[in-house]
Every structure is written in C-alpha cells, then in structure tokens.
Chains A and B, each alone.
Chain A
Amino acid sequence: MAQRSEITVDESAARACMAALRRALPPDTLLTDPDTLRTYECDALSAYRRLPLAVALPHDREQVRTILRITREHGVPVVPRGAGTGLSGGALPHPRGVLLSLARLNRILAIDPRNRTARVEPGVRNLAVSEAARPYGLHYAPDPSSQVACTIGGNIAENAGGVHCLKYGLTVHNVLRIEALTADGETLVAGGGGLDGPGYDLAAVLTGSEGLLAVVVEATVRLLPLPQCARVLLAAFERVEDAAAAVAAVIAGGIVPAGLEMMDNAAVRAAEDFVHAGYPTDAAAILLCELDGTEAEVEAGIARVRALLAEHGATEVRLARDEAERERFWKGRKAAFPAVGRLSPDYYCMDGTIPRREIGRVLTRIAELAREHGLPVVNVLHAGDGNLHPLILYDANRPGELERTERLGHRILEACIEAGGTVTGEHGVGVEKLDPMCRQFDEATLRQFHALREAFDPRRLLNPGKAVPTLARCAEHRAMHVRGGRLPFPELERF
C-alpha cells in the first residue's frame, strides 16, 4: 500500500506541461510572471512560502478540466486554492506544480427558497451566500471568522466551522451536493438534490479532504431560516476553572447554545484595550453565551443559563440589553486575535480540541508549560465545542525564541491529544500539523488514509505533501508563526 515518497517532477515534464497549458488556455488564464506569482506564494500561514510553476485562473469548469487533464498527462501536481485564508498552509504552492485558483468560478447559480438551498460555484464567498439568501429569510449557517473573504470551495476543503457550529453543524452538515472533478478530469457527483445520494457518502469524505481527493466545481448548500431572535450573556469568573466548569454545566443542563465562547484574563484585557467592548478586565476569565430561537424559547433559556452561571461561581452575569450591546460583546471576542497581535511582535496560533470537561485542566497545563518555556500564552476558546486557540506570544528576532515557541506549541498539542483531543479542530492539517498527525494516528490508520486518497487520485497529483503525512515524513516538525504580529488579511476577524 501507499508508502511511496511524494511526487517528483523533472524539469522537462514541467516545461512540456507549461507549453501545453499555454496552448490550451486563453492568455489571461495562466500566470507565470514571478512578480505575479508572488501573490500566491502562501495562504494565511505565511511562515511557509513557495513559488509555483504557474498560477491557473480558469473561468469555468471546462477550463478546470482542461488544466487537470494536461497536468495529469505530464505528471505535474495541482494545488487548489480558494481565497487563501487558510491557517494551516493547505494552499501552499508546490514548487513544480500548478496553483489552481478557483477564484473566478464565483457565481451564485441559484437560490432556491422553496427547497432552501443555494447552488454556487466554489469561488463564491461564504458571506455572499447568506447575503443572497437573506431576502428570503434564510441564511447559510457555517460562519468561519474569515467569512467575508473565504470561499465555499475552501470551506468544503477544510470542513470549516465557526461560532455557531455546535448548534448548526460544520460545513459537512450543511452541504447537500458536491460536483467535483477528479485528478483525471472526470466529473464526480456526491450527495444529491434531496438530503442524500446513492452509494457511498462521498460528500462526507470530500468535505475536509484539504484538496487531496478532487477539485470542487459546484456545491449545493442547505439554507436555514434566520432565527427569530438572538441574545447574549456575558459572565465573569474569578477562576478559570470555574468558567470551564460553567461551560460543562450549561451543556449538561440540556442547553445547546448558538455560541459559547471563553477568553482568559490576558485576552479580555487585550480585547478591552483594543475595542472597548465593556468587558470586566479584572475577571480571570469571561464567557459569552448566545442563545437563539423563538422569543419564548430564548427567554426561558436565558433564565436557565443565568442560574447555571451563578451556581458555578460567576461573579457577574450581564445580558446584552439591546442589539448594539450584543454586537459590542461579540466585537471584543472577534477582535481578540488582532488585539493580542498588539501585545507582541509575533504570535503563534494553536487549534486543538479537547473534551469540555478537560478545559480547566488543560488550561492549567498550558500555563505550566508557558512558564516552563518562558513564553506568555493567551487563551481564546470556542468553549462550547472544546476548541482551544492558545496564542503563544514571542519575538522572532530574539535568537532561539521561535524554536522555543515551536517546542511549546508541540507540547500544547501533545497535552490536547493526552486529554483525548485532536491536533486540529477547524484549521486543518495542511503542512503545519503533519508531525502532530503522526502522534494522533497509528501507522495502519495513516496507511488507510493514503489508500483512500489513491482510490480517488492514484498518481497523487492533487495537493501532494499536505494533510496526511507520509510515514517517512512523520519525524518532521512544522509550526505556524505570525510575522510582525500580523496574520495576512489583518483586516479579518479571527476567532
């Protein structure tokens, strides 16, 4: 089974491929000028940069098919790319490959209010779907933080989540049908016009496959009615452990919040300094708990959550009085990453998920590890689903600090695995977490992943070197770091 090394491409094959692409495509579809290529050298994990052989910007699916057929013929790798907002290097170019941007396939093909679906091309932005659906009282539920820029195709590749996914599901729960092209240019339809399709559930396995199995050229997504009302509670705690216990109590209390977020003191202070959300800066941790639904349902739920928070040691519980205050409470949370970015020249964002009951213990462990490594860590959590985003603050210009940061990062991910968790909740493996993947999965399971991939793409030309480590590669260490205190797309909310 699959344990060959990743793809190699010789110079002459690459040249022949370029010539064939040039012949087959209109001139504006193939970019090879080094200065232009530089725009595509990385995604939002900017620590990794590479120039591709060329960038292809097809206008339609037939051009995508042409590109795939030509690249296959010459054995040249293809790296699909949406908006390039991914945080794990999934769209990092291959030095001997074609970067396939789906950005021009950006039409909303149909909004079907009777069936509550939207049929879109892969380059349509996430938020654009909800905007198009709003006149019908509908919306697309998955709302990753980069939703103003990120695309549906990228969301499918990464199985994107968002603040509301505990209640409304991830991308995999909200995509009904996918049309994709396989590495040899064949059309593949997964799912169906109803709620399922015939045969294996290929829509499930394509979602989150990080562009290794097929290139999405069209998707039909589910639209949900906009909730009648949404309200948010802010609770302050004197101890992080109490906040963690309160999270578990809310969920155990039979409540499924639309959002349940947590920030530690450092994150609260940074956010408050930055956007003046009205947060209590002396709290060890705060929780934001949003409920949505009918007026009656939300009112009853808010009363129960209030009581549970008080029971678990909340020193203060505030209900946003109006929409303006609700937005302010959220603004602080959504600005947490850029706010932390102001505290330090660089930061490194982690993305582990752990069982909710482990939140208190793992946060304590992270604090210990941070002291041990002499680096501050700020914690921002999608607490409702146990998804941690610890941010390690460092200065890449200080000798040895980057290496120390990477060591600390890996220790934090190890702590997540030890707590029964996973090394990536929503950012994907990409090139960043190939090494931690080796710790999470045994050899037989990794081999099975490779075999599954080869069932779709026997020559392993789609996004090689990403998502699933070769066994040989398991020793490598990778890490994400933020240069100059900023992520690419600094204007995007990160949460």
Chain B
Amino acid sequence: MAADADLGEQLAARVAEAAAAGTPLRIEGSGSKAFYGRPVAGEPLPLAGHRGIVAYEPAELYVTARAGTPLAELEATLAARGQRLGCEPPRFGGRGTVGGMVAAGLSGPRRPWSWAVRDVVLGVRCINGRGEILAFGGRLMKNVAGFDAARLMAGSLGTLAVLLEVTLRVDPAPEATLTVSLECDMAEAIERLAAWGRLPLPLAGACHLDGRLHLRLEGAEASVREAAARLGGEARADDGGLWAGLRDHTLPFLSGDDPRPLWRLSVPPATPPLPLPGEWLLDWGGAQRWLRTDAPAGAVRATAERAGGHATCFRGEGIEPFHPLPPAALALHRRIKAAFDPAGILNPGRMYAEGGP
C-alpha cells in the first residue's frame, strides 16, 4: 500500500505554473474512468500520491479523504465501523479514487432510495484554475453558508477545479439485505415498479435484465423479510454478485465484447419501454436505462429527450459522450468554467468541445 501524503501545496504550485504558461492539464486518479468523457490533450497531473483518510468520525457521519485515496480503502475503513457510502460508487476494474468518484459523479444501484454522489458531498478542498486552494462547504449536513460549489464539483469531471480533499456523508450499513427476483418482461417490470414505488418498502435496488426483475431490500431483518413476502417471488440473501456486477459494470451486458455502443439513458422511472432497437438493462427502478444499440446517436438522444431525460454515450467510438446542451446553457457552462478556470487549463474539453468545459 502506498504511503499517505499531502501533496496539496505542490499540486497548487503546479496548477499556478500551468495557468501562467497556459499549459492544459489532464487530471488523473487511478484511470478507472479514463474512458468516460472526451479525451483531453494535456500534461498529466497525477493525484494518486495525494492520498489518505484525513478524518473519520463515525458518530458525526462523515469522512474526509484526500482525492487520491483508493475507494476500496475508504469503503473498507467505513465497513469496519458498520458504515458505508449511500451512493454506492462504481469501481470499474476494481479501481477508482475518492476524487474520481466525485469528479465523475456516478452513483450505483442504490441511488434512487439513498443518495447520489452529489448528495453525499458535504465539502471539498480544491485548487481552482488560478492555483488557489479553496474550501467549500464543510463537514456538516446542514450548512447554507455560501454557494454550494462543493456539490457543483460532482460530475464536473475536473473541468472546474482539482479536488484535493472531499468530505462525504456516511450512513449506517443495514442489518439485513435480501434480493427478490421475479420473472416478467420489461413493460411489466416498469408497471410493477410504478405501483411499488408508492409503498413504504425498504427498496435499495431495482433492475431488470434477461426477463427478470430483481429487487434489493435493505433494513431491519424483520422489515426486509416482511417486504420480501409481500413482493413474492424468490428471495435470497446471496445475490450471486448481481448488485456489485451492476455497480462495477462486470455483468456481461455492461462489460462484454459487444461492439455496439453502450448508452445510458436518464429518464423518469415509469417511462414505458422506449422505441429504440437493441437490448436494454433497466436500473434505478427504471430511471437509469442501459442500451446496447446501433441506432444513430441523434435518434437515441431525441428519444431520451422526448421522454423528459437525456442520453450519455457511455462507451462507444466516435460519438460525443454527453447530451448536447442548448446554446444558452452551453454559454453558461463556459462562463462557469471560466469563473473557476480563466486560463482554461483544467481538463479542457472533457465534457464539451470547442473550448468548453
């Protein structure tokens, strides 16, 4: 295991130098999500050495870790105290850092019933594009002092600031977990989820693949058993790696050698099956839908938009990864980028092209 180290000052000096010289920087964690977003031409700014848990107070429900801290290490530390991250971040290839988790803003199967990555971000220390070290938010759940720039960092893919340290809300791990599986097609799964969503069930995952609807229940032993009985179907404590595979994209649908692009559609959960060719995997109770398709990008995006959502090309060659923004929104994104990074040196173009974020 690498030694913990605080490289904050050196990193800030490096950013300040790059800003002065106009040198673009490519921020790197473990590289597990390097495929996500547009390629960045720039000098690497590695953060892996800037690592270590700075503070962890289980009774305060927060943990502060340096950006380069491996997620696996952080989550093991929390698990030892019976706690976890509600946002269930993916570890692609078993890797991933705390900084990369926040920068990418990707949440796991539990997201609709617990928190998104941005929800658990309580505070950050970061370096803006001027090389200044700034602190937003803090270690408290309830804090309305100043703009919520800490949560703005989640999903900004390093285009606004270099994350140095993040403080995250942690939650108690549940007493019991059960997975219930039912045979049904996708349309019926969506119908059932729309009805069950209104009931106070201890849901913590709902996905549909290969003609089966899988529901994860978490909570007190008694309430989990009661809910499983109510839902019917086959209940088991051992999920056979289903939820971890869904989270980390090791399920064949998500990881396989399928040459077709992998799309992520974010839509209202009860949206009926969408008229696009290809194979579907429903996650987040229908709010996140994975699609393997050869359909043109424009058709996928228009369909997602008509349903009130948006589409990301998660894996695919030669396709813009992120849903295009209307001109006024793109202009605002560029002004926000410039407000944090006037020289445009931090991961330029990682999200959108032409000098954008």
Residues of A within 8 A of B (CB): 112-117, 136-138, 158-159, 161, 165-166, 169-170, 172-173, 182, 186-189, 192-202, 204-205, 207-209, 212-213, 225-228, 248-249, 251-252, 254-256, 293-294, 296-297, 299-301, 353-357, 382, 385-387, 420-429, 433, 437, 440-442, 444-445, 448-449, 451-456, 458, 467-468
Cβ of A349 to closest chain B Cβ, rounded Å: 15
CB atoms of A255 and B172 under 8 A apart: yes
CB atoms of A166 and B200 under 8 A apart: no
CB atoms of B335 and A455 under 8 A apart: yes
CB atoms of A296 and B222 under 8 A apart: yes
Q: Is B92 an interface residue (CB 8 A)?
A: no
In the A-B complex, the 5 residue pairs with the closest CB atoms: A193-B308, A296-B222, A252-B59, A254-B172, A204-B151
Q: Is B199 an interface residue (CB 8 A)?
A: yes
CB atoms of B119 and A173 under 8 A apart: yes
Interface segment, one of B141-149, B205-213, B237-245, B251-259:
B141-149
CB atoms of A194 and B335 under 8 A apart: no
CB atoms of A437 and B146 under 8 A apart: yes
| CB nearest neighbor in A for B152 | A205
Q: Is B60 an interface residue (CB 8 A)?
A: yes
Q: Is B269 an interface residue (CB 8 A)?
A: yes
How far, in angstroms, from A117 to B271 measured CA to CA in the complex?
13
Cβ of A90 to closest chain B Cβ, rounded Å: 10
Sample of 14 A–B contacts (CB below 8 Å): A112-B270, A113-B198, A169-B115, A199-B351, A248-B59, A355-B57, A385-B142, A386-B141, A420-B138, A421-B138, A433-B145, A440-B146, A451-B340, A452-B147
Q: Choose among A255, A296, A444, A445 the residue that contacts B146 (Cβ–Cβ < 8 A).
A: A445
| CB nearest neighbor in A for B60 | A355
| CB nearest neighbor in A for B159 | A200
In the bound complex, residues from chain B placing their C-beta under 8 Å from that of A138 are: 198
In the bound complex, residues from chain A placing their C-beta under 8 Å from that of B128 are: 448
CB atoms of B223 and A353 under 8 A apart: no
CB atoms of A454 and B339 under 8 A apart: yes
Cβ of B298 to closest chain A Cβ, rounded Å: 15
> How many CB-defined contacts (below 8 Å) exist between A and B?
265
Given contacts A193-B308, A200-B152, A448-B149, contact A429 B144 (CB under 8 A): yes
CB atoms of A424 and B152 under 8 A apart: no
In the bound complex, residues from chain A placing their C-beta under 8 Å from that of B268 are: 112, 115, 117, 193-194
Chain A proximity mask over B265-294: 1 for CB below 8 Å, otherwise 0: 011111000000000000010011000000
How far, in angstroms, from A225 to B220 measured CA to CA in the complex?
18
How far, in angstroms, from A166 to B139 measured CA to CA in the complex?
14
Q: Is B226 an interface residue (CB 8 A)?
A: yes
| CB nearest neighbor in B for A296 | B222
CB atoms of B310 and A198 under 8 A apart: yes
CB atoms of A225 and B198 under 8 A apart: yes
CB atoms of B333 and A200 under 8 A apart: yes
| CB nearest neighbor in B for A429 | B145
Given contacts A198-B323, A200-B156, A425-B144, 10 further A-B pairs with CB under 8 A are A114-B194, A116-B197, A137-B198, A194-B308, A195-B266, A200-B336, A212-B147, A225-B197, A296-B222, A353-B143
Q: Is B46 an interface residue (CB 8 A)?
A: no
Given contacts A200-B156, A205-B151, A448-B128, contact A251 B59 (CB under 8 A): yes
How far, in angstroms, from A494 to B222 measured CA to CA in the complex?
37
CB atoms of B200 and A424 under 8 A apart: no
Q: Is B329 an interface residue (CB 8 A)?
A: yes
How far, in angstroms, from A272 to B201 measured CA to CA in the complex?
37
How far, in angstroms, from A294 to B144 measured CA to CA in the complex?
32
Q: Is B13 an interface residue (CB 8 A)?
A: no
In the bound complex, residues from chain A placing their C-beta under 8 Å from that of B202 are: 293-294, 297
Given contacts A296-B223, A386-B142, contact A204 B59 (CB under 8 A): no
Cβ of B143 to closest chain A Cβ, rounded Å: 4
Q: Is B51 an interface residue (CB 8 A)?
A: no
In the bound complex, residues from chain A placing their C-beta under 8 Å from that of B60 are: 251, 355-357
